[in-house]
Structure 1
């Protein structure tokens, strides 16, 4: 697949109102917790652990770690720590826990939920130096690596052994595997390989008091009590800092075929999906939906051509992967029948790597194209497939009279019910945000969907978590947090709603 590294795009930063240690973001007021401020003595202690060059305190050095890539969240951290080993992380957390210093773990900082940057002056714990590949076993297909490894580097390493990573993201050139695990990132091939909850065999994590929890199992079967690794997968650094990961990698397929298809209704998208699952049950790895508004943004803002010439309301990208030849011919036969049956209106296929990469760029760079308008309200939800696209049309109608609205569109992973809903405007507007978010999350709750399909809760969605989790579940989450992090120093203000902390 093509390599798209997340850029620091020039966009207006959302305005945060600050008053006496309080921030108001999205009309939600958050007050700084009763944490210690980092002193010069603390900085010297961190330097004694990490060395002079791995403790950043200068404004210019710290600033890139204080802003997320969507320019939505901005923090006020004045200290960035860059550990090299698990022992470094342990020593840092033990000290911070003792001194009551809040810590914000940070991987590639590609989050769109505000979970990877400090909200106030928390110490940023950057994992980028922990980037060693520890082992890859070609017999079992198990990769063991440190949390700071960039996903694209891991993909290249295992591909050289004839294997592939079970996840592929548009941010692969920047995101780190520890962040992927901590947010339970999904990506474009969940339909074939599942989520990271199933692919991660084991991990190592450091808890708030500096204790190292070694659950770095590499066996596919380990039925020995509680599966503690799952506490950290998707917990976004609020329960512990993931330092090492063991991941099961599938065999790299010898043959890949891709189709880019135009359709005239969402109902026909679902018909095509049903056909694809029946005809390509063993080979279907991706089934991606894009609407016309998304494709228009890619064409106009990035100057990437649509793979098919005619304009259609909906587009689908199908990827098949197998070790057997003649895959493309079978795909063409099925599409020809779908065309004869008026299920699809146009299609093109490819089985050459260069052409496949060009087609995937149209999908992978969709959010980048939308960001060129100025500001993007991005929502990552999962819903039943029968109502998957309804919210796009409902929101488009709701915002039809908003002059600043440049685009309302949807794209995503039909195979796992994950819709990326986006509203693009020239600049951020808190009143507009206050209209969109309750509407989107209220509708999602009514559909018994999830307000976060793969990007986590972070800060931005924490006050809407009750739309997905009931009181009992939130109470258990609260109990786990206070058991594992009694002083709440790990990624405070994130995931758990303020009423629950």
Structure 2
């Protein structure tokens, strides 16, 4: 193992950032106002209200303990984890099997009861919590690992399996999940698939549309659709699985998944770099692709304000002093000696020509984890500033960071912090505007401008978080009218009564 601290070209000493000893009081601990009050233009659909007859059916099906009606117990299912959206569901159902899900949806469809599918509730666009009083259908008890083919690397499991638990299971078999997220300790694979989550290593392993080989889903009328192929190649007719990957539970509820899992790398190395400009980040990334090539697994960009959210608010320590920008570069390979030498040679050349001011490189697990914590916990850190307007955009790389400066000018002193970070390897920027508390005036300064700007650059208004509730009326900035109309037709065909995750994904 090694931990290399590279000398800076400037005369500044290498000192860690001094974190505040007392974490700021989280100004955002109070419950948010109800979504229906914050966004009064959205009206409740003509759905039935749950009554004693409905509850009795669910209790007969699931038993008393898996039907939650206590207001306090329901609260966690009604509120998203960044406390930006809150519904008022009075019923949470926790099935343990696909058959139970099918029976629930069939009954809800017949009785015109709206349903909000929910996995780990780690979503960031309001897609996983009710808008009004929809029944929450939680997959948390559907958490069995069904099988693993160690030869092909295909894992088959239920939708409620937590991503980190799958990682630990696969580690015992020298395999890894192709998906890695900061929320892996809570998020569920069914939710990941339903939102087509991207994550930290999409650059190396691709997105879920490529690694999910098959799935099982239950449609709105309770029909079980078995698309559980475990084959890498299956070219028979329409690829129906893709209807459910990324549709956010609006077409059906994913209950099982088969996923291709790559071999666990024998060598993992990581570098954390300090840079003076975003232009230099682009220079480093371009050279990464050419000089690290086949071992490059992740390339992340972080600005100073994003890093400060973790060091100041969460008391994490940075191994570098303050810089305007930082990069996290990770490699996966099979020969540590080869990879270490290749990475060191690459980093040395960056230092020698002044592209990078300072940096560290390591393959010690504890030190790599400490660096990843600085990146993965940014959202958690930002919440301590107050309310966070979060945006997840795909932009051409030359424009990747441009919105941060523009938004600082538009919002001005109304913001506690405006910052940007994300997956520079795939052009996905996470832009954040933190304010003391939610403000409609600030929201109007940001939206729809941010989506108009993205559209002019032919970017995407959602790179990996999905559309959820928050972005439905802005879908046209990324999709044509014809495309939206076709999506609406598919929704109408598969869910004619509109009971599945209403008010989400498609424009009303």
Query: How many Å apart are 1:25 and its aligned residue?
Result: 3.4
Aligned to 2:67: 55
Aligned to 1:408: 418
Preserved contact between residue 328 and residue 349 of structure 1 (Cα < 8 Å): no
CA distance in 1, matches of 2:88, 2:379: 27
Aligned to 1:423: 433
User: TM-score of the superposition, structure 1-length normalised?
Assistant: 0.95
Deviations 1:91-119 (A, max 9, x none): 00011111111111000001110000111
Aligned to 2:7: none
Aligned to 2:279: 267
Aligned to 2:257: 245
Query: How many Å apart are 1:375 and its aligned residue?
Result: 1.2
Listed as ranges, the matches of 1:199-214 within 5 Å are 199-214=211-226
- CA-based RMSD of the aligned residues comes to 1.2
Aligned to 2:29: 11
Aligned to 1:5: none
Query: How many Å apart are 1:10 and its aligned residue?
Result: 4.9
Larger RCO (CA under 8 A, 6+ residues apart): 2
Mapped pair 1:336 → 2:354: no
Listed as ranges, the matches of 1:145-164 within 5 Å are 145-164=157-176
Preserved contact between residue 34 and residue 87 of structure 2 (Cα < 8 Å): no
Counterpart selection for 1:172 from 156, 177, 184 = 184
Which ranges of structure 1 fall in alignment gaps of 5 or more residues? Answer: 1-7, 18-22
Mapped pair 1:491 → 2:501: yes
Deviations 1:187-237 (A, max 9, x none): 000000000000100000000000000000000000001000000000000
Preserved contact between residue 12 and residue 374 of structure 1 (Cα < 8 Å): no
Aligned residues: 482
Counterpart selection for 2:99 from 71, 84, 87 = 87
CA distance in 2, matches of 1:113, 1:297: 21
Aligned to 1:319: 330
CA distance in 1, matches of 2:185, 2:374: 17
CA distance in 2, matches of 1:276, 1:214: 42
Counterpart selection for 2:384 from 365, 372, 394 = 372
Aligned to 1:479: 489
Listed as ranges, the matches of 1:103-182 within 5 Å are 103-182=115-194
User: Equivalent residue of 2:412, what SS?
Assistant: coil
User: TM-score of the superposition, structure 2-length normalised?
Assistant: 0.93
User: Equivalent residue of 1:400, what SS?
Assistant: helix
Aligned to 2:8: none
Preserved contact between residue 411 and residue 442 of structure 2 (Cα < 8 Å): no
Deviations 1:424-479 (A, max 9, x none): 11111111112112121111111111111001100001111111111000000000
Preserved contact between residue 12 and residue 427 of structure 1 (Cα < 8 Å): no
Preserved contact between residue 298 and residue 365 of structure 1 (Cα < 8 Å): yes
CA distance in 1, matches of 2:277, 2:226: 50
Aligned to 2:469: 459
CA distance in 2, matches of 1:469, 1:45: 41
Aligned to 2:38: 25
Aligned to 1:298: 310
Aligned to 2:446: 436
Query: How many Å apart are 1:374 and its aligned residue?
Result: 1.2
CA distance in 1, matches of 2:127, 2:271: 35
CA distance in 1, matches of 2:173, 2:251: 34
Query: How many Å apart are 1:280 and its aligned residue?
Result: 1.1
CA distance in 1, matches of 2:305, 2:182: 19
CA distance in 1, matches of 2:180, 2:41: 36
Deviations 1:259-304 (A, max 9, x none): 0001111111111001100011110000000001111222111111
